[in-house]
Structure 1
């Protein structure tokens, strides 16, 4: 229905998103009074849609219900299932969905609806099917038996209210439209619900009473939440057991508060309340009359003459005005004028003669002036005080509200932190896993990255490629595969669109089209603000194609980038101790460190490598260093063995590849052979 107050809210505020949750939610009421149901759920919705269009609202989120589906045998129920509601409530929600869809079509208003399953949680009343939880809570806390209709095997899809709030909040800034199921996707029987309450409260078996089944009750109900989980990157956080525990805690605290308040405050009777109110209203008049009586006595007393020309009536008027304001000061003026006239009559003056006496009117004017000025001043001061008190009350109310919100947010934050630390793929556990990256050898960092990414992302296939200096090729430096599938040893950038995208955008790539020849996810690793390597993963399950896992991979590669930067910085700082002077040949100790990492990679991930050693001991290395570098890949290493002979480590190389390398070196007059034994 139209409501001027609603439009005033729209007019007075800059609103981006409207979340319309107001509705008549009782199925029984909808059957008994369908007119009321349609006025609230249909006309009320249309009014809010019209205001949203009028005031250019960006998005309109509204509450629908699983009641639009009616009775279904195929479970879980997906959004594309036919709608055949069996109650006026379900019909009104279905009609509301049509209105929202039409508003999007006609006016471009972005609308999104949620078909809620059975929502429960704190502050819930006993209306709706989800109200069974609050009904049970009230009965448990008051010691009443739980009545279960039927044998308790009937199932519902119970979802905790904080999960609902989380989904609505996410939707408020997501570019989603249409209708979505909002549920856990899990069937929970009423018996299971009662069992959850056994864990939070010691229930006796006799407290559960099974009564006759209600006609028309649906046996099973559960909604498919695949669509909302995929499109919104949302998943319910609370199990039924956890939700029941939190709901019980709330109801228990509320009952404790009510009992404490009842024990302190005694409700006054209606007669007592009326009497007190009447007494407060008459009290100022009684005090005014009492003060007037004292004033009259002082004025008319024989002893008064001793005080000369003091006019006690002015004191009386001033005091009444100061105490009670304008109303009592005016009454005091009227009474004082009457007393003054009475004085004059006692002095022998006739009443008619006073009408011609200017002194008489001057005195009356003084009374009026004093009474009105004092009364008005006090009323104004009291109004200001009252206004300030009202503002203080409003501020206190806001403070209590914000403090309540703050405490709730802190509770949710603490709960989320606890869940994050406990979850298997949490950000909190990333840091413990990535301790493996703590190395000053880049090769070890690359090898450790494979283990870290596999652990965090829960994927079988991880490949690490380094980018060459010209950014034309990617060379494989580390790889793991559950099914022994070998990754390409090199990738030409221009031949792979996903590599071009990663190198150009510097962001995580997701293969949403499932294109052949591209990994499911790919992320860059940085060094000095340049992409030094690329992580590619395969074997990712469908439900992990989400923003959450995209961010998870980004955080992981950021940590790898940090570890790699430390390792490269160490290499640069120790260059003189690491290399033979004037060459790129690794000294014996440095070469051994890299060789150990390669052996570890071979043991863990079956990453092949080969060693080549020069046949001549007296080979002049300085003369051949540049020639050798030009014939090897950037992922290969040259160094010295214990006898100062040239040794070459070929990364990711088979025997067939090694033969080609041996041939190239032989053509340049350098004789090498494959080393089988340990150096």
Structure 2
């Protein structure tokens, strides 16, 4: 089974992922690692460095088909939510809605959402039940409350089973100290560093501290339970901050205490009522505060020891010299090139080059190399050089102001600088945009390639399982070759053998559904002596049939309801439920999710075979029935009768043949009358002697007597065929 843990590298997430791994699950993690630490996970898993609101998450869901999703990824700081409510909303609302959408779309069976006691707000009622009014006072608490509404509505609208846990104050190893990391974690850090502890207020304010492994245990239990809804996850015990300090003192610590003023917004008492979760989940916290603190202290001491033993490594600082050089190089090159142009302009040189304007060439080169900024600087320097050159050759400033050639030359410099600079800037921006798009596409390609490789790996593993597993789908394929028939009745008979073989059970029943979906008629069953199968079942008297017939869902009798089968699945043809296959008995070790999936796959194969048979029957109706009647031709009727004899021999499924003298004389007139008096599972056809014969499926001699009376009332007198009494 597969579980996805969002935020799986975080404090709580790493313990949850570890618990599922120990229980044999394949663990997948989505974590963009703002505070998560991959080193917390030292077991085999698959991780994706993504935000939960990222659209790429759909590829992960599409590829892996998770059984459960544990949504722990969130922005967890109340202080941050007050300063940046938009960031909190993106993570805690948009991220949640994305996970809910993907879970509903790709068939996740259970969705668990980590909410918080912050949804209650400043309520001093203790203990605080789930029914208490919610009045959050921070964007964090408000968004968690909105998240709860999302989960409940998603279950109501889309049928995604969800459990919402409102955590009290979780503590334990791996907990961070930043933001709202928790008073326990903050105290641990100060104790191992021998720093004084800071208490805001008098220390008599209480909290409900729950150890992180108890949280992980509750989440694991909930993942395979039948419960849904909102539950407090807590110890149900109050402990003051002074009690916390006393417990630390009992662990041979003697911290120095510094009392400061109470922080605004801090509540005096906090304790959540956990009665509901203990009752519904059969869960109780295993660690009291003293034992949990002892384990937490040991972890912090070990980490401090490792940090002290590790060689001191100075963090690498980004070199500013390289950045400075990269910034100043264009200006240096500009200056050097200008000096060269100035020298060429002010000194005599070969007259053959006199027509060249080096200042214009200088502007073009700088614009092409660096764009607008250096082009404008080159224009300014060139203009200054031109003015100086004119003054040097005898012109004065006043004459230059009236010289149209001067202004034309300066305009040319400016025009070229702007055109070349703009063109290069536009080209550079376009290149950068293409590079960004290319980087995005490369990142997406890398991600999809990773998903593809993972899918290939999973496929190869499944192929190995198919080859090596005795109960594999390869065996299903071999057994279901028996279903290769174009006669629905033969398929039903073969299905009994197929299901018995695959599911290792001898208590299979198959019922067909009437056109009104109001009754089920027994069409085939196992030969087991202990199996008591009703001839017909009224749908409205059988509650579990609603989800099977109308919602087309697999029914699993987890509560062991009396009179209901252990497993029941619909046979669907052309979108309509046409039959129902039930399994009434199986060994306890086979009542697992694996065999449930095996049963569902088998029934799907039966549905496929039956759809083909019904299509064939419909397409060949003109050859199956005598023209203008509902009476089967001799060949078809003989073929169906042969199948009934096989079913009688293999599964002891009774049938009765009825016939009356003279019935072959008025086939057209009798057809409608006879058909109205029979069930949908019965047949009327011509035997080898050309006589109209009635075949009552799954019926005994006693059952036949009622049918004979029904025919007698409409003037048709029949009798049981003596030559086939051995099959009756």
1:573 corresponds to: 622
1:145 corresponds to: none
Distance, in Å, in 1 between the alignment partners of 2:358 and 2:604 is 81
TM-score, normalised by the number of residues in structure 2 = 0.51
Secondary structure of 1:381's counterpart equals helix
1:380 corresponds to: 422
Residue 535 (str. 1) matches residue 581 (str. 2): yes
Distance, in Å, in 1 between the alignment partners of 2:93 and 2:492 is 50
Residue 601 (str. 1) matches residue 613 (str. 2): no
Distance, in Å, in 1 between the alignment partners of 2:704 and 2:678 is 11
Residue 318 (str. 1) matches residue 360 (str. 2): yes
**Equivalent in 437, 446, 450 of residue 492 of structure 2:** 446
Residue 22 (str. 1) matches residue 34 (str. 2): yes
Kept after mapping to 2: 8 A contact 1:461/1:538: yes
Structure number with greater Rg is 1
Kept after mapping to 2: 8 A contact 1:434/1:559: no
Residue 559 (str. 1) matches residue 554 (str. 2): no
State the Cα deviation string for residues 159-207 of structure 1 (Å, max 9, x = none). xxxxxxxxxxxxx9955343599xxxxxxxxxxxxxxxxxxxxxxxxxx
**Equivalent in 382, 385, 397 of residue 332 of structure 1:** 382
Give the C-alpha shift of residue 443 in structure 1: 0.8
Secondary structure of 1:491's counterpart equals strand
2:338 corresponds to: 288
Trace 1:57-206 onto structure 2 (pairs within 5 A). Answer: 57=93, 60=96, 98=116, 105=134, 106=136, 107=142, 108-110=145-147, 174=160, 176-179=162-165
Give the C-alpha shift of residue 322 in structure 1: 0.6
Give the C-alpha shift of residue 398 in structure 1: 0.9
Residue 622 (str. 1) matches residue 659 (str. 2): no
Moved more, 524-533 or 379-388: 524-533
Give the C-alpha shift of residue 43 in structure 1: 5.3
Give the C-alpha shift of residue 476 in structure 1: 0.7
Distance, in Å, in 1 between the alignment partners of 2:400 and 2:456 is 82
Give the C-alpha shift of residue 400 in structure 1: 0.8
Give the C-alpha shift of residue 338 in structure 1: 2.3
Give the C-alpha shift of residue 620 in structure 1: 4.8
Residue 370 (str. 1) matches residue 412 (str. 2): yes
Kept after mapping to 1: 8 A contact 2:489/2:640: yes
Distance, in Å, in 1 between the alignment partners of 2:37 and 2:611 is 54
Aligned residues: CA RMSD: 5.6
Kept after mapping to 1: 8 A contact 2:656/2:699: no
Kept after mapping to 1: 8 A contact 2:81/2:88: no
State the Cα deviation string for residues 440-478 of structure 1 (Å, max 9, x = none). 212112223334555677765432222346665422111
2:510 corresponds to: 464
Gaps of 5+ in 1: 1-17, 29-39, 64-78, 81-95, 113-171, 182-217, 234-268
Kept after mapping to 2: 8 A contact 1:523/1:534: yes
Secondary structure of 2:521's counterpart equals strand
1:341 corresponds to: 391
Q: Using a 3 Å threshold, how does the CA distance of structure 1 residues 277 and 527 change in structure 2: closer, same or farther?
A: closer
2:154 corresponds to: none
Distance, in Å, in 1 between the alignment partners of 2:322 and 2:80 is 45
1:474 corresponds to: 520
Kept after mapping to 1: 8 A contact 2:117/2:166: no
Distance, in Å, in 1 between the alignment partners of 2:512 and 2:643 is 16
Secondary structure of 1:565's counterpart equals helix
Moved more, 324-333 or 357-366: 357-366
Secondary structure of 1:109's counterpart equals helix
2:223 corresponds to: 228
**Equivalent in 678, 690, 697 of residue 651 of structure 1:** 697
Give the C-alpha shift of residue 318 in structure 1: 0.9
Give the C-alpha shift of residue 661 in structure 1: 6.4
**Equivalent in 492, 498, 502 of residue 538 of structure 2:** 492
Distance, in Å, in 1 between the alignment partners of 2:388 and 2:689 is 131
1:400 corresponds to: 442
State the Cα deviation string for residues 135-165 of structure 1 (Å, max 9, x = none). xxxxxxxxxxxxxxxxxxxxxxxxxxxxxxx
Distance, in Å, in 1 between the alignment partners of 2:723 and 2:702 is 12
State the Cα deviation string for residues 332-364 of structure 1 (Å, max 9, x = none). 3223322332222xxxx8xxxx34435686665
Kept after mapping to 2: 8 A contact 1:509/1:521: yes
State the Cα deviation string for residues 259-281 of structure 1 (Å, max 9, x = none). xxxxxxxxxx9999988887665
Secondary structure of 2:531's counterpart equals coil
Q: Using a 3 Å threshold, how does the CA distance of structure 1 residues 50 and 291 change in structure 2: closer, same or farther?
A: closer
Residue 357 (str. 1) matches residue 399 (str. 2): yes
Query: What is the aligned length?
Result: 472
Give the C-alpha shift of residue 544 in structure 1: 3.6
Distance, in Å, in 1 between the alignment partners of 2:84 and 2:526 is 55
Distance, in Å, in 1 between the alignment partners of 2:165 and 2:545 is 37
Give the C-alpha shift of residue 370 in structure 1: 3.4
Q: Using a 3 Å threshold, how does the CA distance of structure 1 residues 422 and 598 change in structure 2: closer, same or farther?
A: farther
Q: Using a 3 Å threshold, how does the CA distance of structure 1 residues 547 and 379 change in structure 2: closer, same or farther?
A: farther
Distance, in Å, in 1 between the alignment partners of 2:85 and 2:567 is 44
Distance, in Å, in 1 between the alignment partners of 2:94 and 2:322 is 54
Q: Using a 3 Å threshold, how does the CA distance of structure 1 residues 177 and 494 change in structure 2: closer, same or farther?
A: closer
Q: Using a 3 Å threshold, how does the CA distance of structure 1 residues 433 and 320 change in structure 2: closer, same or farther?
A: farther
Kept after mapping to 2: 8 A contact 1:587/1:639: yes
State the Cα deviation string for residues 6-27 of structure 1 (Å, max 9, x = none). xxxxxxxxxxxx9875315499
Q: Using a 3 Å threshold, how does the CA distance of structure 1 residues 413 and 634 change in structure 2: closer, same or farther?
A: same
Kept after mapping to 1: 8 A contact 2:163/2:227: no
Give the C-alpha shift of residue 387 in structure 1: 1.2
Q: Using a 3 Å threshold, how does the CA distance of structure 1 residues 439 and 54 change in structure 2: closer, same or farther?
A: closer
1:675 corresponds to: 724
Distance, in Å, in 2 between the alignment partners of 1:480 and 1:677 is 20
State the Cα deviation string for residues 392-441 of structure 1 (Å, max 9, x = none). 21111111111112212322333444455555688898777654333221
Q: Using a 3 Å threshold, how does the CA distance of structure 1 residues 342 and 51 change in structure 2: closer, same or farther?
A: closer
2:681 corresponds to: 635
Distance, in Å, in 1 between the alignment partners of 2:600 and 2:82 is 40
Kept after mapping to 1: 8 A contact 2:581/2:603: no
Gaps of 5+ in 2: 1-29, 41-74, 100-110, 122-129, 137-141, 150-157, 168-211, 229-318, 367-374
Kept after mapping to 2: 8 A contact 1:421/1:428: no
**Equivalent in 591, 596, 608 of residue 637 of structure 2:** 591
Distance, in Å, in 1 between the alignment partners of 2:397 and 2:680 is 121
Distance, in Å, in 1 between the alignment partners of 2:573 and 2:326 is 80
Distance, in Å, in 2 between the alignment partners of 1:547 and 1:100 is 40
Give the C-alpha shift of residue 485 in structure 1: 0.8
Distance, in Å, in 2 between the alignment partners of 1:356 and 1:664 is 128
Q: Using a 3 Å threshold, how does the CA distance of structure 1 residues 338 and 556 change in structure 2: closer, same or farther?
A: same
Trace 1:253-292 onto structure 2 (pairs within 5 A). Answer: 281-292=331-342
Distance, in Å, in 2 between the alignment partners of 1:356 and 1:643 is 132
State the Cα deviation string for residues 481-504 of structure 1 (Å, max 9, x = none). 767413111223443344566556
Secondary structure of 2:162's counterpart equals coil
Q: Using a 3 Å threshold, how does the CA distance of structure 1 residues 475 and 600 change in structure 2: closer, same or farther?
A: same
